[in-house]
Amino acid sequence: MLIIAMLLLSSSQLASQIFFPVLPQIATDLQMSQGLSQMMITGYFICLGLSQLVVGPLRDKYGDRQVFLAGQLVFVVGSICCALATNTECFALGRLLQGLGAAAPLLISRTILGAVYRGSQLREALGCLAMVASCVAILAPWFGGVLASWADWQFVAWALSAYLMIVALIGYWLLPTELSSNVAVSLYPHHIFKQYLALLSAPKFVAIALFKWTPTFIYMTTQLYFPFVLQQQFALSEAQFGSVMMLPMAGLLVGSLLSRKLQRHLNMAWVTGMFWPLLVLSGVCYMFMSFTLLNALFAYGLVMVMFGGYFAIYIQMLSEHFCEHAGSANALIGACELLLFTVLAVACNSYFIDVPSDMAWITWFMAVLLGWAWLTLFLSKWSWHRFLLDKRARSM
């Protein structure tokens, strides 16, 4: 199951990240403005967020394989549409279909391990998944830039389509057909809405979600801001931009490795608390250091270390606290993340970010939200008592 989870997660990651280095090329060929080309990226995230709200309950009711195959078919069709695009409308349709289809592999990759593993086995499996996700995130922009330098951005889309078809065949053979839970799931819209509303009203759910929402929002904001600023200000080509972006994205791998190592010796309260200062330090870099290429990559890299450190932890906490409705819980987190925070990322780039130091205020505000999440999860009287006991027990 770990292998198929890795393949499914990589599918959605590639579709979201492989086009970043070729955004300026796509904008030129299809005669799009910078804002419109950015909307082609954010449109994918918006459709991905919306479709997760439907895919989550479907997965809980019908299982993994059926839902995956339906979603992956739409995913492949959307990628082929992008590859064949000769105008803005066709490319936009392809990106929308990609977003709708990508929800199935993304959601199932996050839930399937929690249905199979428990305890230390789940922690180790999620650690491995986080490392693979980090590697894909590191390599995807570079890979997209290299492919574009060999041919053009349409070749990038054809390569993505071929990969998605291979994953579809593997998923057909390896994904289980039986349900992972015997809990009755209603697909009536008002029942789904009530379930989502109940989750959003639970402080514990929101606190867990913030460990995914905050780094993702900064990631989206930065990925929309950096391609044009770095390529224009430092005269980088698509391939060069893809290569230099591997440096901060390597922070994902560093963070996932550190998190896996630390969780063997410390509890979640300590591990999550140790990654939080990186967010504050990233804002300090944007505010007080000159905007050179190295400094920009370093500030972004600090956030990516935190992102990698929190990835497996958030899935583990969600699996432990909301296991009976894992699909719906993951879907709601993904939908809010991609709908609300994508819109906020676009708004920040359009109306707030004029100079690099503006990124500092965004980063610090997210640090405040994440601090509240940590306090909510780990600083209640019961949690604080357990926090101290666990620390004392591990030191003996």
pLDDT, tens only, 384-393? 455 455 555 5
CB 224 within 8 A of CB 346: yes
The pLDDT value given to residue 184: 60
pLDDT of residue 182: 55
Q: What is the pLDDT of residue 69?
A: 93
Q: Which of 91, 151, 119, 124 is nearest to 5 (CA)?
A: 124
User: Residue 101 and residue 104: Cα distance in Å, rounded?
Assistant: 6
Q: Which domains does the chain have, with CATH numbers?
A: 2-175+189-395 (1.20.1250.20)
Contact assessment for residue 8 and residue 109, using Cβ atoms and an 8 Å cutoff: yes
Neighbours of 204 (CB within 10 A): 15
Mean pLDDT of the chain: 83
End-to-end CA distance of the chain: 36
The predicted structure's pLDDT at residue 154: 86
pLDDT digits (tens, 9 = 90+) for 65-80: 889 999 999 999 999 9
Using CA atoms, how far residue 196 sits from 29, 176, 189, 331, in Å, is 42, 26, 11, 9
Q: What is the number of residues in the chain?
A: 396
Residue 28, both tokens = 């030129």
pLDDT digits (tens, 9 = 90+) for 42-68: 788 888 888 988 888 888 778 888 899
In the prediction, which pLDDT does 365 show?
A: 95
Rounded distance between C-alpha atoms, residue 55 and residue 116, angstroms? 20
Cα 187 to Cα 56, 183, 196, distances in angstroms: 10, 13, 12
Taking alpha carbons only, the member of 26, 49, 50 closest to residue 38 is 26
Q: Tens digit of pLDDT for each residue in 117-145?
A: 777 777 788 778 878 877 887 777 777 77
Q: Each residue's pLDDT tens digit in the chain (396 positions)?
A: 788 888 998 898 888 778 777 777 888 888 877 677 767 777 888 888 889 888 888 887 788 888 999 999 999 999 999 999 888 889 889 999 999 999 999 888 878 877 777 777 777 887 788 788 778 877 777 777 778 778 788 888 899 999 999 999 998 888 877 655 555 666 777 788 888 898 889 899 999 999 999 998 998 888 888 877 887 788 877 667 767 877 888 888 899 889 988 988 888 889 999 999 999 999 999 999 998 999 999 999 999 999 989 988 888 888 777 876 777 888 888 888 878 887 888 888 888 888 888 999 999 999 999 999 999 888 764 444 554 555 555 554
pTM, two decimal places: 0.74
Contact assessment for residue 220 and residue 345, using Cβ atoms and an 8 Å cutoff: yes
For residues 106 and 246, what is the distance between their CA atoms, to the nearest angstrom? 22
State the pLDDT at residue 382. 46
At 167 the pLDDT is 93
